[in-house]
Structure 1
Amino acid sequence: MGNSSETVSFVLAAYGNVGALKYMYFSIILFWYVSICVANTVLIVVINVDRRLHEPMYILLSNLCLNEINASTALYPFLLSQMFSDSHEVTLPWCFLQMCCMYTSASAEFCSLAAMAYDRYISICHPLRYNVIMNTERVFILILLVWMYSFLSFIFSFSFIFSLKFCGNIVNNVYCDHKLIIRLSCSILVHSFISDIFFVLLSIYLPFTLILVSYMKILAVCRKTSTENKQKAVTTCTPQIVSVSNLFVGCIFHSIDFSLLAAQVPGEVRVILSIYLLICQPMLTPFMYGFNLPKIRQSCTMLLFKRKSISLFGKRVL
């Protein structure tokens, strides 16, 4: 292998030799990926079909579900393709593409939740001005800014990886982990640490601060309102609070250096914890919002029974 980063390739060593178990793993991963896509797509379709859900809150939720599909697609098809590979080898451009999709989606997740928290803040704290501040046009501009901001934060943070020269090619994970790839470089770079801090500040700390401020203001207003309004606020805010909490659990697992705990933590557990976010979060989002928000629950029920009625009526006519 040459030292040029243009020709380097990496071997993903965490797959190991699973033998005939690869068929079982392939089936489980494929089932989970299809389930994620179906669950999120159903929520997107319901929101787009039902005109009553053409509100800022649900448009932002639709964007969040789209992001879950994007993040899952950055990982699961790659895992499925590597499951039957003998070499588990991947080039730097493919690694960079996967990192771009995964980290952009991670940033978009936090930023989307921040936008939804702001939407709830305006709805609960300034209800009379809600339709003026959060109109449809501004919501779509906000979504566009979320994606642009998330992509640029990744580019500014990690584009230096292409200029690195590598003295090793073994990555002890099942996907392209930027921390492990940077460790393979021939020189220790100070700005690699700075780039991590930069990405965390832009993609996690800043959106979380906006979420925290929004919910603190919501809490302050709810303390002065009626019990019924408090219950409505809790119903609409609970899914977002659960999502943010789960994201932070996933970030903690992702930041743990499992190479230092190799003797104490089995390899399978290390792999699962390293991709915890992309296992739980994409499925948590549609189920938390789908089952907890009354309007979406009613729309799903109406859409389901309407289709059944049309089907039964069609059979009777025939």
Structure 2
Amino acid sequence: MLNSTSFSFSYFILQAYMNVGSLKYMYFVITALLYAVIVAVNVFLLVVICVNRSLHEPMYLFLCSLLVNELYGSSGLFPFLLLQILSDVHTVPAAFCFLQVFCLYTYVNVEFCNLAVMSYDRYVAICCPLQYNTRMSSNKVLCLVVWIWLYSFGKFLITFSLNIRFTRCGNVLDSTHCRNYLLVKLACGDTRINNFYGLFAIVVSILILLIPVLFSYIKILQVLQSRFDMSRLPNMLRILLSLYFIVLQPLLNPIMYGVQMTKIRNACKDMFWRKMFSDHRQHMK
């Protein structure tokens, strides 16, 4: 556990909350429903993938990693928000504040790493279909999933250790939750090392994550262009199509891998009808 005596303040004040009176109950219900939907959808898809052997393939294993991360990140934020919405005193212990920062920032890193690996998976499947089974073997998939989590946690662990060493010259955060940038701003001391490492981490993330994603989808676009005659399309439409595959597609991957995938839809239908048939037989007895 973190020792709060190492900080100049044992708690932080969240300044972004406003006194909304009885409306806070409406905000609480909306936030709670959103959290419940996120948990229900992600848990449901995890169960569907785990109980169906036909879904034990690389793309679905990467999807499982993504779903687990969604549960991890949302659980690090939503219960805290629900408590703060109902509370009249918006303070948070320093130890918990740093724990939340660690949770949320590792969640973001795991999310981007997952999307990068999923884009590579689609690149191999579309551009090198004959080599897919060898290039995406079970061992390689497992190694990629482990790398996603270890890299993300290790990367932010350095940021975390650089930030936690400071004492604080203030304890007011202009936010609804704890954020690393705001905690660094409150530090009493020279934060140049933190700023340099933050810039270095961004550059590394671009090199390791963004460039491979762009490369993968540029190659996918080239393969799709070779299958269709796009020479007659207006130049603006070709630009929009290229932007779709390069920019929007990585963001839509979880949806593509989730409820829109035929195998998952069929597995859901099978589970539903099996449950209906079982209930009917019990009722007939």
Q: Which residue of 2 aligns with 1:311?
A: 279
Where structure 2 has 5 or more consecutive residues not aligned to the other structure, the ranges are: 230-243
Q: TM-score, normalised by structure 1?
A: 0.77
Q: TM-score, normalised by structure 2?
A: 0.85
Q: Which residue of 1 aligns with 2:222?
A: 220
Contact 2:31 2:82 in 1 (8 A): yes
Contact 1:98 1:176 in 2 (8 A): yes
Residues 23-172 of structure 1 mapped to structure 2, 5 A cutoff = 23-172=25-174
Note the aligned Cα RMSD (angstroms): 2.5
| Inter-CA distance 136–110: structure 2 relative to 1 (3 Å threshold) | same
Measured after TM superposition, the shift of residue 305 of structure 1 is: 1.8
Measured after TM superposition, the shift of residue 314 of structure 1 is: 2.4
Q: Determine the C-alpha separation between the residues in 1 that align with 2:168 and 2:9.
A: 10
- Where has structure 1 moved over 6 Å in runs of 4 or more? none
Where structure 1 has 5 or more consecutive residues not aligned to the other structure, the ranges are: 228-237, 247-283
Q: Deviations over 1:121-155 (max 9, x none)?
A: 11122222211121222212211110000001111
**SS of residue matched to 1:11:** strand
**SS of residue matched to 1:164:** coil
State percent identity of aligned pairs: 38
Measured after TM superposition, the shift of residue 220 of structure 1 is: 2.1
Measured after TM superposition, the shift of residue 183 of structure 1 is: 1.4
Matched length: 268
Q: Deviations over 1:87-146 (max 9, x none)?
A: 221122211111111111101111111111111111122222211121222212211110
Q: Which residue of 2 aligns with 1:233?
A: none
Q: Determine the C-alpha separation between the residues in 1 that align with 2:160 and 2:200.
A: 10
2:194 alignment partner AA: S
| Inter-CA distance 205–25: structure 2 relative to 1 (3 Å threshold) | farther
Q: Deviations over 1:193-216 (max 9, x none)?
A: 223213323345521111111111
Q: Determine the C-alpha separation between the residues in 1 that align with 2:269 and 2:246.
A: 23
Contact 2:217 2:245 in 1 (8 A): no
Contact 1:157 1:198 in 2 (8 A): no
Residues 162-201 of structure 1 mapped to structure 2, 5 A cutoff = 162-201=164-203
Contact 2:109 2:152 in 1 (8 A): yes
Q: Which residue of 2 aligns with 1:259?
A: none
